Amino acid sequence: MVDAYIGHGMANEPVYDVTSLGKGLELVKRRKVEFDRKEAMKLLELDEFPGDRRLKQNHVDRLIKAMLRGTFHPEWVTLIVCALDGKHYRMNGQHTAWARIEMPEVWPCSVELLEYRAETDEDLRSLYSSIDRSSPRTRTNVMDSYLVGTPEFEGIKRQSLSRLPQGFELWFWPSAQDRRKHDADDTSFLLKTEQYDLAVKVAAFLDKLSARENRHMFRSPVIAAMFAIFNKSPQVAVKFWQPIADGTGIDKKGDPRLKLRNELMRTAVDSGGGSRSDKKRVSQEYMFRLCINAWNAYREERSLSQLKAYEGGKRCSLK
């Protein structure tokens, strides 16, 4: 154990010296490498660290997409290898290497390479466990970086803007498989370009609501339904959604808007994480389809005794 770090919340907390299990690491060389296909293959052919993470093809695909669009920055990449007992181990970079192989040979990719030497197996393991521990940017964080404070969304409250992308994704890509193919960059690009006018309409409506008092309106499937409905009929959409938000302007018991409001108030989205809430838990897709079914009944001026939805099959079209 080493001396305690005296800082916020850390006074008198023990700091265990895991590096004492080994005999030392040495940084032997630091150099720039033009990471072409040949260098990528050389990295992949090194001995694999026994505890390395499995290759994730979806991560490779995301890197390829970033390389193609220009949001991948090779100058930020640091590849790490380590020698131990005559073997050279790859400490990181497998996903970057496979993505680089898929790019054209002439694609420029200058990265930094760090070469270490370990005295013992414990030193090798200590090095590997120390890599990539920084706090990665979440999907929400990436979208916020593209949208919050931009001229395109000037004046839109952050509470509205932060909820907008997830609802958009649920509407724009109907299947979970489709949504997995697209990252935060894709979503942000669409919201700022070809779907911009629609996004502003939905955001402007959300801006009139309170995230605390109208919590049921800020769920992803509800916002997804807003995208669908504002896209279909922006003038009628406000008349449909406002009573669902605040409960005013509904004077008929069978009004589809009242049925939907009641359903939203007594249900919660099942995130799979458990909850202390006693509300009925439903899937995002189910809640989205409830909204669409209520809209279709409203447009057809049908009175409802019950509001139901079915998750299976293709989504129904809007009236």
Where exactly are the structural domains of the chain?
Answer: 18-130, 139-299
Instruction: For residue 22, name the pLDDT band (cuts at 50, 70, 90).
Output: confident
Give pLDDT tens digits for 184-209: 888 999 999 999 999 999 999 999 99
Residue 43 has pLDDT above 70, yes or no: yes
By three-state DSSP, how is residue 230 classified? helix
Q: What average pLDDT score do residues 115-123 get? A: 92
Handedness of CA 205, 207, 211, 214 (dihedral sign): negative
CATH top-level class for 18-130? Answer: alpha beta
Tell me which of 89 and 9 has the higher pLDDT: 89
Tell me which of 16 and 121 has the higher pLDDT: 121
Alpha-carbon dihedral of residues 25, 31, 32, 35, nearest 10 degrees?
-60
Residue 287 has pLDDT above 90, yes or no: yes
Beta-carbon contacts of residue 69 (< 8 Å; ≥ 6 apart): 185
Q: What is the DSSP string of 261-314?
A: HHHHHHEEE--SS--S--SEEE-HHHHHHHHHHHHHHHHTT---S------SSS
| Predicted pLDDT at 202 | 97
Mean pLDDT, the chain, as a whole number? Answer: 89
Most confident of 11-20, 211-220, 275-284: 211-220
Q: What average pLDDT score do residues 89-102 get? A: 95
Instruction: For residue 125, name the pLDDT band (cuts at 50, 70, 90).
Output: confident
